[in-house]
Every structure is written in structure tokens, then in C-alpha cells.
Amino acid sequence: MKSLTEYLWFNTPKRRDLVNITERIAGLVKQSGVKEGLCLVSAMHITASIWVNDDEEGLWEDFWALLERLTPSGKEYKHHLTGEDNGDAHLKRTLVGYQALLPITKGALDLGPWEQVFYAEFDGKRKKRVVVKIIGE
């Protein structure tokens, strides 16, 4: 069995952002030499997510609008009693999820025709990382 572990670092200039990381992940799959296996992509910070969806700006706007309706920024959350101001970011991460498990077939990511992999940031402007773990034959 082959394996590869890599870390991707992010420091988004905005508090919330979406970064398309599909090509970076595909490059790591190729580098790993795995022909048949799995690629785990996991945000290692409690206010960031991994989101697999279409790379379309209208969908992005709908994504942010949905999350704002469910977990509005600026609301007083109990988490803020700790001195933090990012309660909404923690809840957004909970809704979106923090990782994706992606199939590898014939040495490449086996994504649907419109699927892309995104790093979703809900409380940016600081250094955070994502682990990519690839295993297989």
C-alpha cells in the first residue's frame, strides 16, 4: 500500500472565503502514485470546512446566504462569553462539515463532472491548515 500526507496552508485576506483547491489535490494524488484508493481532505481548524460542489459564483452567493440565514454573523452567541467573536463560524463549520473523502480511480481524482473541492473559511485572516491523506495501491 502507498500513502502520502501533505499539509496545505491558508491565510485568507477576508474573514470568509472559498478557495478552489481541486488542482492542488489532484497534483498530490498524482505525486502519491496511488492508482486505486482514497484521498481524505480535512480542515484542521474549527472554523473552516471542506466543501465539494460546483465552481459557480451564483451558487457561492447562495451558499453564503444560506449559512448567514442559519447562523448570522454579529449575533450574540454563548460562545462569545469566552471572549471570542466567532460563534457563527463554529456553527457554519458544523453545518458544512470539516472533511471530504474522495475516490481515486486510475491514478486520478474520480469526481463528478461539475464537482470541485473547496477550502471554506468562516473566520479567516490568520494561518490555518488542511491535511491531505492519500492511501491506496
Q: What is the pLDDT of residues 53-106, one digit of tens each?
A: 999 999 999 999 999 999 999 999 999 999 999 999 999 999 999 999 999 999
| Cβ–Cβ < 8 Å for 102, 38 | yes
Q: Into which CATH architecture does domain 2-136 fall? A: Sandwich (2.60)
Q: What is the pLDDT of residues 35-51, one digit of tens each?
A: 999 999 999 999 999 99
Rounded to two decimals, the pTM is 0.95
Per-domain boundaries in the chain = 2-136
Q: How far apart are CA 47 and CA 23, in angstroms?
A: 23
User: Given phi > 0 = left and psi -120 to 50 = alpha, else beta, which region is 74?
Assistant: left
